[in-house]
Amino acid sequence: MKSMDKIVSLCKRRGFLFQSSEIYGGVQGFWDYGPLGVELKRNLKDAWWHDMIAGHNELIQPATAPTTFEMVGLDCTIIMHPQVWKNSGHFDLFCDQMIDCRESKKRYRFDQVRGRWCEAKDQKVFVTTLAEQEQEADEVRRRAMKFFKFRPKDADKLTVSDESITLDQLDNTTDVLGPDAKKLDSLTEPREFNLMFKTTLGALGGEDDVTFLRPETAQGIFVNFKNVVDSSRVKIPFGIGQVGKSFRNEITPRNFTFRSREFEQMEIEFFCHPDTSQDWYRYWRDRRLAWYKNLGLSDDSLIMREHHAEELAHYSVGTADIEYAFPFLPEGEYGELEGIAHRGDFDLRSHMEGKLDPSTNPMTVELNEKGKPKYRGSGKDLSYRDELTNEKFTPHVIEPSAGADRGVLAFLCEAYTEDEAPDENGNMQTRTVMKLHPRLAPIKAAIFPLVKKDGMPEVAKEIYGTLKDKFNVFYDEKGAVGRRYRRQDEAGTPYCITVDTDTLKDQTVTIRDRDTLEQTRVKIDDLLGDLESRIGS
Ligand code: ATP
């Protein structure tokens, strides 16, 4: 049975993940990767980089892609010009709202996706209810809808209690009813809370020097769009990928690394012609889902959730989330691993022109007194001219945005398995094994001399030396071989190579497969090639 407690405990015991600054009591929302974890995370990021960027063959049209296309990479800074965050919308809109219940001490945050106040602890949806005076019903309803950001389609969920309340009271009193009903005055006022970490540049640190740690890597790509086009001769359609740290001052970091305050993202901004953007959106959505499956996430645990029209960001034509059935969620619920969004030309246009007219774009900030956008754009031309047709246009963008830490967590959860395997005496015992895909496994193979004598360690060490040049392999000569196998099973090592008495006679070793427990004999000379083909690229 998979339980989060067991997975968390294995992660700590075997050195996948530790709480940051643990000896001082830890800091909420920050995690360190241990010796096994750092390899796993690096392998995941390398697989992404290889499969999406460096290993992409721009000369061949992938079966499901509308045309051939190019992919390049970038590595941008965490701190950027403060204007970036104004024009991206993060400065004004990247907020969470929270309310606290004074009685129950529970905290509720506004869940943008569900459009509801949710209990911060377990994301359960509570129907929001307000009392009213009969004659003011419509006004109460209207204000309540606004206050709780209810969408029109949810109007019927706004039930009305029979307690009477005036409109004045309404402005100060709200309630979250449901199984956890509380008195109307027991909730604090909603507080807006920008999720960006603020910092200051330079020694003096005045208001003008305030800037932010990036909450996503994407903006670095948008502001470098022109640099990449001018310097690398890429032609639309093409994508730019980036892997790097992002920071969000989450109100309620929780569920192990799922919601952290410092995390890594693997993002692609794919630039295409507006006419073909829907085709590219579908291509990336399907390709990204297939990628997780190829690396071992099971069909049963993954879903692709298309956002409803009313859930979409104002600029978005379509967004789909790839979600995974994390064991900390109730049965039937899924947590986001990656979002694939059709962002139209919103980002490039904002960085060119500044914020758009709020009358055509209600989510954007107000115009200043001169009727100009509140935030000035860069004024740089970020449009694109097609050399063949001479058409000039602002490219549309498809954004597959994945979290490396959430990916690692999903692969850890998927890999955790308890099965039965024979011990040294042939008795069946429960074993804990991390069935990680060989490409992701922190250690690719462990090399054991069966016993610490008769020249076996020497041969095993030589094999270790040869393989170490190619893969992360591990040498272990301590204790019973059965116990050594168990340790490697828990580390997720897919192959164990044992040097025994036959090795000394015929130069062969056994390779034991972690999942099938099958043992095959392979010539030492063929070992490297054999492992390479088993592990794959
Ligand atoms: P959520 O709704 O769960 O907060 P989000 O929709 O805000 O996520 P995006 O802004 O789309 O997330 O970010 C893209 C990806 O970055 C997410 O799919 C997720 O994998 C990762 N991510 C976002 N926030 C966090 C976080 N606090 N901790 C770890 N990973 C995160």
* Pocket, ligand 1, Cβ cutoff 6 A: 113, 216, 248, 250, 259-260, 263, 265, 336-339, 401-403, 405-406
Q: 203 C-alpha vs ligand 1 centroid, how far in Å?
A: 33
**Residue 413 in tokens:** 């959860």
Task: Judge if 74 and 204 occupy the same domain.
Answer: yes
Task: Judge if 317 and 206 occupy the same domain.
Answer: yes
What are the pLDDT digits (tens) for 19-44? 999 999 999 999 999 999 999 999 99
pLDDT at 223: 97
What are the pLDDT digits (tens) for 65-96? 999 999 999 999 999 998 899 888 888 777 77
The average pLDDT across 225-234 equals: 95
Q: 76 C-alpha vs ligand 1 centroid, how far in Å?
A: 19
What are the pLDDT digits (tens) for 1-24? 688 999 999 999 999 999 999 999
* CATH number where 209 lies: 3.30.930.10
Q: Is residue 432 part of a domain?
A: no
**Residue with token string 């904002």:** 350
Per the annotation, binding residues are: 109, 216, 248-250, 258-267, 336-337, 399-406
In DSSP terms, 511 is beta-bridged to 497, 520
**Residue 47 in tokens:** 């697989």
Q: Is residue 47 part of a domain?
A: yes
Task: Judge if 120 and 161 occupy the same domain.
Answer: yes
Q: 403 C-alpha vs ligand 1 centroid, how far in Å?
A: 6
Atom of ligand 1 nearest to the CA of 250: 27
**Residue with token string 């006679």:** 505
Contact (CB, 8 A) for 133 and 166: yes
pLDDT at 365: 45
Q: 257 C-alpha vs ligand 1 centroid, how far in Å?
A: 11
Q: Cβ contacts of residue 229 below 8 Å, gap of 6+? A: 384
Task: Judge if 242 and 310 occupy the same domain.
Answer: yes
**Residue 329 in tokens:** 């969620």
Give yes or no for residue 504 having a pLDDT over 60.
yes
Q: Is residue 301 part of a domain?
A: yes
Residue 297, SS3? Answer: coil
What are the pLDDT digits (tens) for 458-481? 999 999 999 999 999 999 999 999
The average pLDDT across 380-391 equals: 94
Neighbouring C-alpha atoms within 13 Å toward the C-beta of 470:
16
- In angstroms, how far is CA 79 from the centroid of its own chain? 20
Give dist(CA 279, CA 25) in Å, integer: 50
Q: Cβ contacts of residue 286 below 8 Å, gap of 6+? A: 64
pLDDT at 344: 92
Q: Is residue 178 part of a domain?
A: yes
Closest-CA residue, ligand 1 atom 13, reads 401
Q: Which of 100-114, 323-337, 440-454 has the highest mean pLDDT?
A: 440-454
Q: Is residue 435 part of a domain?
A: no
What are the pLDDT digits (tens) for 113-159? 445 566 654 332 222 333 333 444 455 555 555 555 555 555 554 44
Domain boundary at 194, 217, 246, which?
A: 194
Counting the structural domains of the chain, the total is 3
Give dist(CA 181, CA 168) in Å, integer: 22
Task: Judge if 392 and 516 occupy the same domain.
Answer: no
Rounded percentage of the chain residues whose pLDDT exceeds 70: 78
The average pLDDT across 301-314 equals: 82
Closest-CA residue, ligand 1 atom 22, reads 403
For every residue of 307-359, DSSP letters joined together read: PPGGGS-TT-SEEEEEEE--TTSPTT--EEEEEEEEEETHHHHHHHHBSPPTT
**Residue 366 in tokens:** 């107000």
Strands (E), 444-518: 445-449, 473-475, 495-499, 508-513
Q: Is residue 340 part of a domain?
A: yes
Domain boundary at 174, 194, 214, which?
A: 194
Per the annotation, binding residues for ATP are: 248-250, 258-263, 336-337, 403-406
Residue 139, SS3? Answer: helix
Q: Is residue 417 part of a domain?
A: no
Q: pLDDT higher for 89 or 344?
A: 344
Q: Residue 486 is part of which domain span? A: 443-535
Q: Is residue 259 part of a domain?
A: yes
Q: 311 C-alpha vs ligand 1 centroid, how far in Å?
A: 16
Give yes or no for residue 357 having a pLDDT over 90.
no
Domain boundary at 194, 209, 242, which?
A: 194
Neighbouring C-alpha atoms within 13 Å toward the C-beta of 208:
1
pLDDT at 527: 96
pLDDT at 138: 55
Task: Judge if 212 and 173 occupy the same domain.
Answer: no
Give dist(CA 412, CA 8) in Å, integer: 10
Atom of ligand 1 nearest to the CA of 261: 27
Task: Kindly report the pTM of this predicted structure.
Answer: 0.84
Per the annotation, binding residues for substrate are: 109, 216, 263-267, 399-403
Q: 1 C-alpha vs ligand 1 centroid, how far in Å?
A: 28
**Residue with token string 């969000």:** 248
The average pLDDT across 165-186 equals: 36
**Residue 323 in tokens:** 């979600």
**Residue 180 in tokens:** 């956890």
* CATH number where 522 lies: 3.40.50.800
**Residue 336 in tokens:** 């986001």
pLDDT at 89: 81
Atom of ligand 1 nearest to the CA of 215: 10
pLDDT tier, 175 (very low <50, low <70, confident <90, very high otherwise) = very low
The average pLDDT across 157-176 equals: 38
Contact (CB, 8 A) for 377 and 87: yes
ipTM associated with this complex: 0.98
Q: Give the C-alpha distances (Å, rounded to integers) separating 399 from 158, 356, 392.
A: 35, 21, 22
Closest-CA residue, ligand 1 atom 26, reads 259
Task: Judge if 276 and 407 occupy the same domain.
Answer: yes
Q: pLDDT higher for 369 or 407?
A: 407
Give dist(CA 37, CA 115) in Å, integer: 35
Closest-CA residue, ligand 1 atom 20, reads 403
- Helices H / strands E in the chain, number of each: 15, 26
Give yes or no for residue 225 having a pLDDT over 90.
yes
Task: Judge if 159 and 183 occupy the same domain.
Answer: yes
Give dist(CA 401, CA 215) in Å, integer: 12
Q: 154 C-alpha vs ligand 1 centroid, how far in Å?
A: 25
**Residue with token string 């600054």:** 21
Atom of ligand 1 nearest to the CA of 335: 3
